[in-house]
Copies of this chain bind each other. A is one copy, B any other.
Amino acid sequence: MKTKKRPASAPRRGITAPQGFRAAGIHCGIKKPGLLDLALVVSAQSGPIAGVFTNNQVVAAPVIVDRLHLRKGVGRAMLINSGNANACTGAKGLAAAQKTATSLAKQLRVPTEQIFIGSTGIIGRVLPVDRIVKGIPQLLMQLSEHGGLDAATAIMTTDLRPKSIVLQDTIGSRLITIGGMAKGSGMIHPNMATMLGYFTTDASITTHALQRALSLAANESFNCISVDGDTSTNDTVLCLANGMAQNRTITEGTAAFKRFLLLLTEACQTLALAICRDGEGVTKVVRIEVAGATTVTQARQVAQTIATSNLVKTALFGEDANWGRVMAAIGRAGVPLTPSTLTLSFGGVPMVRHGMGLGLEAERRIAKVFRQKEFTIAVGLGQGAQTAHMWTTDLSFDYVRINASYRS
């Protein structure tokens, strides 16, 4: 298999790297002057679109609109604002969201169902719809194949830097490009508690195959980092495909599908880890690996319980090799356990065997692992053959500072 490539222009182009995509980011007046707050991504032709949304039952207006539009499975453009989440805003908020979509649809001369929208920012205030509608002509004027960076900047809230990715692979003798951009998750920058990811591709693929690939890829990436459990009202991942690479249309279950899935998964994982690493609050990114579970669900449950434990997260920040906290987290995960079959290691150094600590020498060795910026915590349940993994970050002074003082 040919190695996947990241073209040199990747960071600059991002979501506009695939053929036929243009983007722009402007200041429309939601955030303070000078800050970009409105992004637009437009494809030269309509094509299949797939989406994955928040599980939160309190759902922001843009998510309601996108879910509705996704039923047709065809997209042309994605319009995203930052600074206002348009959540908990009732019928007014829904009307505002619909108006932005309708306005863009008219100017692009496409059905409203082909417009997808996203919002991130403060909850509970109705979207300043006039500012967005006013901004649309300016966005359309500025659309460019080099607008990826501006778009990635305009969707940021407390993110420190824009996050984008470009990956390429040859599928069916055609060069396929995937571009993407994302903004911080609740885990890292929970002010907004929103994680947004937008992908574009020039691959030709069926709507069904695209949805399947995006669901699987999100499961192995964005869903592995949403570890503080504070699922947002707005979380959204979308992927729009315009077929302009002119490959033979990818359908599910083929070798081409597998290659596309790998490419999209890598794109999603790269952005998910970029979300983890970005942010003043984060000093550690730790991978939790759970093996030996009876079911994948149980493996995930153990990984998630460790990943969301404040005791584990503060120990990571303090570089305190407090493996007892990991054991306690495993024990309360709600998964049937035999303590005597448990193993635990840090950065490959065994610390627990048969459920028992291996003593002070092992503690001294794992203390060194805790000083690394990124390492792996590996748990063996000793019950079955199923595995799961998850990334977590530490809980630092800055996490508290950023989140205690956001609005006031």
Chain B contacts for A310, CB-based, 8 A: 190, 228, 230, 310, 395, 399, 403
The answer, yes or no, to whether A404 is at the interface (CB within 8 Å) is: yes
The answer, yes or no, to whether A4 is at the interface (CB within 8 Å) is: no
Taking CB atoms and an 8 Å cut-off, the chain A residues in 38-69 that contact chain B are 55-59
Nearest opposing residue in chain B for A228, CB measure:
B310
A87 engages B233 (CB within 8 Å): no
Q: Give the interface SS of chain A, mostly helix, strand, loop or mixed.
A: loop
The answer, yes or no, to whether A309 is at the interface (CB within 8 Å) is: yes
Nearest opposing residue in chain B for A351, CB measure:
B124
If the complex has contacts A311-B403, A400-B396, are A87 and B332 also in contact, measured as CB distance less than 8 A? no
Binds B, one of A138-146, A248-256, A318-326: A318-326
Copies of this chain, count: 2
Task: Determine which of B123, B322, B357, B400 lies in contact with A397 in the assembled complex, contact meaning CB atoms within 8 Å.
Answer: B400
The answer, yes or no, to whether A6 is at the interface (CB within 8 Å) is: no
Nearest opposing residue in chain B for A123, CB measure:
B324
The answer, yes or no, to whether A25 is at the interface (CB within 8 Å) is: no
B58 engages A125 (CB within 8 Å): no
Bound-complex Cα distance A213 to B315 (A): 37
Bound-complex Cα distance A311 to B310 (A): 12
The answer, yes or no, to whether A232 is at the interface (CB within 8 Å) is: yes
The answer, yes or no, to whether A299 is at the interface (CB within 8 Å) is: no
B57 engages A339 (CB within 8 Å): yes
Task: Determine which of B57, B317, B319 lies in contact with A400 in the assembled complex, contact meaning CB atoms within 8 Å.
Answer: B317
If the complex has contacts A320-B404, A407-B322, are A328 and B399 also in contact, measured as CB distance less than 8 A? no
Pick the most buried of A230, A337, A367, A406: most chain B CB atoms within 10 A of its CB: A230
Q: Which residues of A contact B (CB under 8 A)?
A: 55-59, 85, 87-90, 92, 122-125, 186, 190, 193, 228-233, 308-311, 314-315, 317-325, 327-332, 335-337, 339-340, 342, 352, 354-357, 363, 367, 395-397, 399-401, 403-408
Leading 5 A-B pairs by shortest Cβ distance: A123-B324, A318-B404, A58-B331, A124-B357, A314-B403
